[in-house]
Amino acid sequence: TVILSALQSFGIAFWVSNLPVASTGPIVPDPGPLFYLMTALTLTTGCAFVMWLGEQITERGIGNGISLIIFAGIVAGLFPAAIGMIQEMLRGERNLFQVALLLVVMLAVVAAVVFVERAQRRIPIQYASRVRGRRVMRGTATFLPLKVNTGGVIPVIFASSLLALPNALIEYLYSAFPNEVLGFLSRQLRYNMPLWDLLYVALILFFCFFYTSIIFNPIDTAENMKRVGGFIPGVRPGKKTAEYIDRVLTRLTFAGAIYLSAVSLLPIFLISGFPLHMLEPAAVGHFFNEYVPRFILDGLGLQFYFGGTSLLIVVGVGMDTVQQIESQLVMRHYDGFLKKTRIRGRR
């Protein structure tokens, strides 16, 4: 973590020193070696302190400390946003209908994210009866829970981080060696351009399947079930069980990838739409400009105060913290505050 933060700190220092000149003069008048060293040292020290603070919260508190710090930083930004929205209403820049529509959309999106994050595909598992001495132990029935969004927020973070690298590289190459190909890539790989959106969705799909394959192995799961005498009704133990679990997991992962892509792109659509009319060559952009509704191209103009990644982090951390508090209450013989679900898995 310290090495990565040091490298990123030097990158931020170079980026700040090369920012465009403001009206009052350069942001950094004389960026010498001492400036780069002090900037990198300050940012790296701050990162190490936050990591230490997160570990202390994890050891002495409830929940994951780093996740809670990120959660607090995201939620803290809502209060200035709410105050700004109220001020816009008082100035007449927004009417009551726009504010109500924004609140309804935000609540609906949060509710949908909570529903999908808690959704599971429960594969029934039956354990065979066993004879111990003169007693016959009846087989028990349980289930294997498979989440719809197995990868969580990791695929979105990886996709956005990986997509930022070629964009920065092409911008640098285009400024140093201007030509038509680099100019086309520089324009189309900018944030929320059609090619950027397409690559973003493709990377989310890839990382969903890649990350799921790392954290869950159907072959090992099938072998462990077979070793303890468990089986899926109607499916032969061993290879057939692994193939069945893999088939179900593939369908769930694809659905989860579509869900992550939709959540990630929805705030972009609400704010600025999908500028398909800016596709190149010009004839393609003109076709979309003529036949695609304007609200798709220009968006709805709603100021959605959550990005897709931020929304997934807030909901995920909030649900995890609530479940850990529930576990602590039950462990200490208190009544929990979470209601049992009535949704049953398909048999």
> For residue 124, how many other CB atoms are within 10 A of its CB?
15
Spatial separation of the C-alpha atoms in residues 205 and 250, rounded to whole Å: 11
User: What's the confidence (pLDDT) of residue 258?
Assistant: 92
Q: What is the DSSP string of 35-48?
A: HHHHHHHHHHHHHH
Spatial separation of the C-alpha atoms in residues 266 and 132, rounded to whole Å: 58
Strands 135-137 and 141-147: unpaired
User: What's the confidence (pLDDT) of residue 25?
Assistant: 64
AA identity, residue 325: I
Residue 63 — left, alpha, or beta (φ > 0 → left; ψ -120 to 50 → alpha)?
left
Asked if 9 and 43 count as a contact pair (C-beta separation under 8 A), the reply is yes
User: What's the confidence (pLDDT) of residue 254?
Assistant: 93
Spatial separation of the C-alpha atoms in residues 40 and 12, rounded to whole Å: 8
CA angle at 121 for the pair 115 and 127, rounded to the nearest 5°: 140
Domains along the sequence of the chain with CATH: 95-331 (1.10.3370.10)
Spatial separation of the C-alpha atoms in residues 54 and 243, rounded to whole Å: 40
pLDDT tens string, the chain, 347 residues long: the values are 778 788 888 878 877 776 666 566 667 777 788 888 888 899 899 989 988 988 888 888 777 788 888 888 888 887 887 787 788 778 877 777 777 877 887 888 888 888 888 888 888 888 876 656 566 566 678 888 888 888 888 888 888 878 877 777 777 777 777 777 777 777 777 777 778 888 888 999 999 999 998 988 899 988 988 888 888 888 888 889 899 999 999 999 999 999 988 888 887 777 776 666 666 666 666 666 676 666 666 666 666 666 777 888 888 888 888 888 877 777 776 655 555 555 454 54
* pTM for this model (two decimals): 0.75
Q: Where are the alpha helices (DSSP H) in 119-190?
A: 154-176, 180-188
| Separation of first and last alpha carbons in the chain | 45
Asked if 148 and 114 count as a contact pair (C-beta separation under 8 A), the reply is no
